[in-house]
Chain A
Amino acid sequence: MNTPPALEVRNLSKDYPVGSNLLGTRPARMLRAVSDVSFSVAQGKTFGLVGESGCGKSTLGRCILRLLEPTSGTIVLAGRDITHLDARAMRPVRRDLQIVFQDPMSSLHPGMTVRRILSEGMRLNGLDAQAEAVRIAELITLVQLPQDVAARYPHELSGGQRQRIGIARAISVDPRVVVLDEPVSALDVSIQAGVLNLLRDLQARLGIAFVFIAHDLSVVRYVSHRIGVMYLGQIIETGPADAVFSAPQHPYTQALLSAIPLADPRAERARRRVVLEGDLPSPLDPPSGCRFRTRCNRAQPRCAVDPPVLTPNTDHSVACHYPGPDHAPYLDPQNHPIQHGVDV
């Protein structure tokens, strides 16, 4: 009854040295792209990472795969610490840990047929030719494409089909965990829906754990069981998807949710927006104390001094000294008194 989570990330940080000159006479400054991030994903579940550009979500994804070396912290895959494995020891581990990238045009080899693309991973795992052909047919069926795509090249496929091949490649080696980095943001809405449904379907069938990275909150909500909201390298709120979306506690999460345009003219007109002032501070020189305080409408003197940490041991935790609901009707104006005329 004590199965370890499929993936556990503990206190992960990633620094980039920036600004040193060629002669080394000017010392490099450290840009902390990911700062002390912890979360875990259970078998067959999805952890959604959301945040705006530059918040560190993709860097975090790449650190999990060890495509980037984390500066500190621990990555535990199904109970095994893989943080310090060397390239050779990582090889068999990669079978359990796969990734799907945003742009399938640049992540699929243009000179390989779909068959070759899908067989690469299996060959590295020593499947014989007979089993390989069967498996490829099975994978193509799994991602709901016609069998004749096997003989085609990526440029002959549409964007949605290419992304399905990217997904098929990731699952070809039966991974435990797949990191999906903006897998649908390059797709049109009508195509995106099909890929999202496919992901939910595959997870239900194969029990894979997903780390789903995206900037589009409605997409993340659709696929995720748990959510982590990132701001300037830190997770500032995390919890079950429903709780985070329907009762956000952090003012940044609230602003983020209220900024999403709703495809519903009446609700759109009725809602009150929390429009964030100013721009994202430079990650090279983050604000002291709480990183969000420069744009926060609740900031108090304490926020400049004392960096808030995620509340420990709770299912829904938030890194804020003054958490709590905002008084705006965020998502369902039907259930709240509609406030007219207080729009921004």
Chain B
Amino acid sequence: MSTVPLLEISNLRAAFPGPNGPVEAVRGIDLTLDEGAVLGIVGESGSGKSVAMMAVLQLLPAAATVTGSARFKGRELVGMPRGQIRQILGREIGCIFQDPLSAFNPVLTIGAQIVEALRLHDRHISRRAALARTHDLLASVSIPQPHLRAAQYPHEFSGGMRQRAMIAMALANSPSLLIADEPTTALDVTVQAQVLDLLRRRAQEDGIGMVLITHDLGVVAGMARNIAVMYGGRVVETGSAEQIFYDTCHPYTRGLIAAMPRMDQSDAPLVSIDGTPPSIFARPPGCSFAPRCHMAEPACSLTDPALVQAGSTLSACLRAHELAAEGNTRVAE
């Protein structure tokens, strides 16, 4: 029996008012996340990856227009009245942002903020019980001396510890979906390893579905079951982690992988992608990657290709089938 996916996004669009009419930051994306699975959304700055998730959660400024559909356990989130979505956010959907220093209120203790998150969604829990649960939550994210730590302010925590406290808060009401937007980007690599390890463990133990937004291919490689690569406000390729890394059928994904310095080979020159990502105000006609693509043909600047099955992945490229036929893409040309 097919069940309802945890999160199903279809033809989601988000636009902001611009000087010459609306500007689309997200241009029709489709994504599906099953219960307990991890979906990685990868893209460079300006690809629309964060805006897409903010649009789903209605966290964009009021001036933004969001259309399309985002169903969470079958319930439509786009256009849902504010009062209703606030019932879902923080309870059934937890969020973790890049910068925990600005996500916490600096004048309230960490404990008070987690207690607030608990009591907001559960009127019957007593202050005392909420505090006890807060201590458990902090302990569960490996914060030593949770009783003392709960009484401290965000600035008294180190960066990694603050991010762990943020995870504790996001998990406070046992959500079934966790949206993590660049959760480790501000952290040092050894701290990043601790935080990713914690996220992975908690998501597995509690069967939480997770959308992990990042610019770091390395981070999704170890975390995500499925990956969506975004460019210019669209999903340009999607598939399982293995398919994306070993059998990519999109020149942009291929370029990204070849552009990453690898620890196990130092001498092969990196393959850089010429040019810069398109500005949201001046999108090229046709495929938005075409101006930087070494495989582009005249047809590429006429049509914006749809996501179609090519080889093992879904790829939005007119020449995806050629790439699929080439096979082994681990060897960068």
Interface residues of A (CB under 8 A from B): 52-53, 158-161, 188-194, 196-197, 200, 215-219, 221-222, 241-242, 245, 255-266, 268-269, 273, 275-276, 279-280, 331-332, 344
Contact = CB atoms under 8 A, between A and B. Distances in A.
B314 to A, nearest CB: 18
A189 B260 contact: yes
B54 interface: no
B245 A265 contact: yes
B272 A279 contact: no
A215 to B, nearest CB: 7
A275 B194 contact: yes
A227 to B, nearest CB: 11
A190 B273 contact: yes
A263 B262 contact: yes
B222 A268 contact: yes
B264 interface: yes
Contacts of B215: 188-189
Contacts of B193: 258-259, 261, 273, 275-276
Given A160-B276, A189-B256, A279-B161, A245 B221 contact: no
Interface in B209-255: 215-219, 221-222, 241-242, 245, 255
Q: Which 5 A-B pairs have the closest CB atoms?
A: A261-B218, A194-B272, A268-B222, A259-B193, A193-B259
Given A256-B190, A263-B260, A189 B222 contact: no
A189 B217 contact: yes
B189 interface: yes
A191 B276 contact: yes
Interface in B166-222: 188-194, 196-197, 215-219, 221-222
B57 interface: no
Contact of B256 (A190, A280, A332): A190
8 contacts: A188-B277, A193-B270, A200-B269, A218-B262, A222-B266, A245-B266, A262-B221, A275-B190
Contacts of A256: 189-190
A344 to B, nearest CB: 6
A293 to B, nearest CB: 16
B282 interface: no
Nearest to A330: B263
Contacts of A241: 266
A168 to B, nearest CB: 17
A319 B158 CA distance: 27
Given A53-B188, A215-B189, A264-B245, A197 B222 contact: no
Interface in B103-131: none
Contact of B242 (A200, A257, A266): A266
Contacts of B276: 158-161, 191
B92 interface: no
A158 B44 CA distance: 14
A272 B257 CA distance: 23
B139 interface: no
Contacts of A160: 276
- Identify the interface centre among A191, A258, A266, A276: most chain B CB within 10 Å of its CB: A191
A166 to B, nearest CB: 16
Interface residues of B, number: 45
B262 A189 contact: no
B189 A191 contact: no
A66 B123 CA distance: 61
B270 A222 contact: yes
Given A215-B188, A255-B190, A331-B264, A192 B221 contact: no
Contacts of B189: 52, 215-217, 256, 259-260
B308 interface: no
Nearest to A335: B264
B44 A190 contact: yes
Interface in B146-175: 158-161
Nearest to B262: A218
B11 interface: no
Contacts of B74: none
A194 B292 CA distance: 13
B196 A52 contact: no
Given A217-B263, A245-B263, A189 B44 contact: yes
Contacts of A188: 44-45, 215, 277
Given A53-B159, A263-B260, A268-B222, 11 more contacts: A160-B276, A161-B276, A190-B255, A191-B273, A215-B188, A215-B189, A256-B190, A259-B189, A259-B190, A263-B262, A265-B221
A219 B189 CA distance: 13
Contacts of A158: 276
B224 to A, nearest CB: 8
Contacts of B271: 193
A162 to B, nearest CB: 11
Given A242-B266, A260-B263, A331-B264, A276 B194 contact: yes
A273 B256 CA distance: 25
A264 B221 CA distance: 6
Contact of A262 (B263, B270, B272): B263
A188 B215 CA distance: 8
B272 A197 contact: yes
B274 interface: yes
Contact of A193 (B45, B216, B272): B272
A254 to B, nearest CB: 11
Nearest to A51: B188
Contacts of B196: 261
Contacts of A261: 192-193, 196, 216, 218-219, 221-222
Given A265-B245, A331-B264, A192 B218 contact: no
Contacts of B44: 188-190
A268 B196 CA distance: 12
A245 B262 CA distance: 11
B261 interface: yes
A53 to B, nearest CB: 6
A190 B268 CA distance: 16
A278 B300 CA distance: 52
A115 to B, nearest CB: 22
